[in-house]
Amino acid sequence: MGQKKSRVRSTQNIAEQEQPQPQRQEEPDIHPPARGEFNNTDGSQQDEPSPTQDITPGPDSSAGSNINMVEIAEVNNISQEEVEFLWQQYYKYPLNTDKLIQCDLTEFTDPFTKNIFRRILRVEGNSNNIDFPSYVQYLAKWSNSNGLVKSQLLFQIIFNGDPISKALLTKLVSLIYTESTQSDNEELAEKIIKIMDRKSSGIIDQEDFVEFFSRQDARAIINAGIKLPLS
């Protein structure tokens, strides 16, 4: 049965500007695994699962037991290849013995990633763990949303819903253009605000942000997806 394909962006890809993932070596690994990669919470090493095997969700899952890749793909209206890709990403997070992400937000140093996981936990209720079906469901919902919803979520995740001032935008520009002078970055930030600020208030609020990304020339940015490394 053919499956509808979509573009799913994982949390790591979002937070890390879609940096390419390292390929797993086939030869025996003589070095200890990196922290959080294929390790149980007690420090013992896990066996990397086959991406096509059945997954038994932990106790927080409401989808039942023995959920496999095909079922997850069908439920979320994405391809099996994308589910397999997300499974490999999911398994790089610190997992407990029930294969749930141990989601201690204090351990996340990147605020963008922290906000994403905070939103997933909010959907899960009071749980501090995230199972794989919930992880896929959240990302698939993002991928299948229209540009309006995506731009609203981005503004909430990146800026916590607060207006973007010239000072804040200058800091962001300075992180991108590290070789430019402070005055050049301030000038660029001011130009960006003039383009996006429809009310001439000197700041960019959520309404300005959403309206900008609804324009034809900006839709490609908000609708960008990842290219799966399929052979």
pLDDT, one tens digit per residue, over 108-166 is: 777 777 777 777 776 666 567 888 888 898 888 877 778 788 888 888 878 888 999 99
**38 within 8 A of 48, measured Cβ to Cβ:** yes
- The reply to whether 120 and 212 lie within a common domain is no
Residue-level pLDDT at 226: 42
Phi, psi of 57 (to 5 degrees): -65, 160
Helix spans in 65-146 (H): 69-76, 80-90, 111-124, 132-144
> Domain of 213: which CATH number?
1.10.238.10
Q: Which of 144, 172, 189 is the last residue of a domain?
A: 144
Q: Kindly report, residue by residue over 193-214, the tens digit of the pLDDT.
A: 999 999 999 999 999 999 988 8
Q: Give percent above pLDDT 70 in the chain.
A: 59
Question: Is residue 114 in some structural domain?
Answer: yes
Domain that holds residue 76: 36-144
In this model, does residue 37 exceed pLDDT 50? no
Q: Are residues 92 and 154 in the same domain?
A: no
Decide if 153 is inside a domain: yes
Altogether, the residues listed in the chain come to a count of: 231
What pTM value is reported for the model? 0.51
Q: Indicate if the pLDDT at residue 224 is higher than 60.
A: no
List 39's β-bridge partners, or say none.
Answer: 45
